[in-house]
Amino acid sequence: KPQLGNPQPRAFRLPEHGAVINRYGFNSEGHESAKSRLEAYRASDESRTSVGLLGVNLGKNKLTPEEQAADDYVLGVENIGEFGDYIVVNISSPNTPGLRNLQGRKHLSSLLRKVLKARDANERTAKKPVLVKIAPDLTDSALKDIASVVKSERVDGVIVSNTTIARPDAIKAHKHCDEAGGLSGKPLMESSTKVLHDLYALTGGKITLVGCGGVASGEDAYNKIRAGASLVQLYTAFAYEGPPLVPKIKRELAACLERDGFKSVQEAIGAAHRRK
């Protein structure tokens, strides 16, 4: 359903740290509005010639009770899942009450079964990869539970990670440090990459991982790949630097691969886990 999200102001830039704190709260015009835009895009010349991927990122409404959360995700798959190249089950935003509770073993297993059943029931979504987006603020036992569930339920991948509720020492003197919400950008790089590294080890490299959190350079992207990422996403750095950042990262990443003797990204995936 449409919802306004949290009251403004709800986004705070920390440019000297390459960071942002946001508490948007899934502000959205709802499925119908999104569906009309996605339909128009898929019918456009831009969609037919694009080489990029479009993800449909699903979350629950703020007022949906935790025990009914799966219904919101299933509706998302049914209403707009067909328009994405992949579908994201976002259970890790810190700005929707109770959302991160869905990362627990019992909730997550039940949720994913319902989402995958809904995906497979419709020929327009049946071949769409489903990825789970997790938080960086996880205990070791919680991460082990997630690894177990995503393997047993056979999801197609995990996005590691969403924003953090932690506040690293580097930003504690900033005037926005104490704002509620999720921190993204450069200060997230270390913690999100550690979770990525650990999840790759826990899943034996058998689940596709998407590295996300703090990527602002080719070296950052390379470190995500070495930790176990097959794909890398940009958010905050892209907001600060815009489209020119993408070819810059590609050039720098190519230089990193060449420097270390890799002929392709594929060869470098999980390299941090292999003995030299």
Task: Summarize pLDDT for 18-66 with one digit per residue, the tens.
Answer: 999 999 999 999 999 999 999 999 999 999 998 899 999 999 999 999 9
Residue linked to tokens 């946001």: 22
Q: What is the DSSP pairing of strand 86-90 with strand 55-58? A: parallel
One of 28, 47, 50, 93 is an active-site residue; which one?
93
Specify the pLDDT at position 51: 86
- Is the pLDDT at 5 greater than 90? The verdict is yes
Give the SS3 label for residue 168. Answer: coil
Three-state secondary structure readout of 87-112? EEEECCCCCCCCHHHHHCHHHHHHHH
Containing 245, the helix (H) or strand (E) segment is helix 245-259
pLDDT digits (tens, 9 = 90+) for 82-134: 999 999 999 999 999 999 999 999 899 999 999 999 999 999 999 999 999 99
Of 71, 69, 123, give the one whose Cα is nearest residue 96: 69
Which candidate, 82, 151, 165, places its Cα nearest to that of 112? 151
Instruction: Provide mean pLDDT across the span 153-169.
Output: 97
Mind listing the pLDDT tens digit for each residue in 225-273?
999 999 999 999 999 999 999 999 999 999 999 999 999 999 999 999 9
User: Do the beta carbons of residue 196 and residue 233 sit within 8 Å?
Assistant: no
Distance of alpha carbon 83 from its chain centroid, rounded?
18
Identify the pLDDT of residue 275: 73
Residue 93: active-site member:
yes
Six-digit token string for 160? 């590691």
Write out pLDDT tens, residues 165-177. Answer: 999 999 999 999 9
The pLDDT value given to residue 172: 96
Tokens (6 digits) for 40: 């128009």
Please tell me the distance from the alpha carbon of residue 236 to that of residue 215, in angstroms, as a whole number.
8
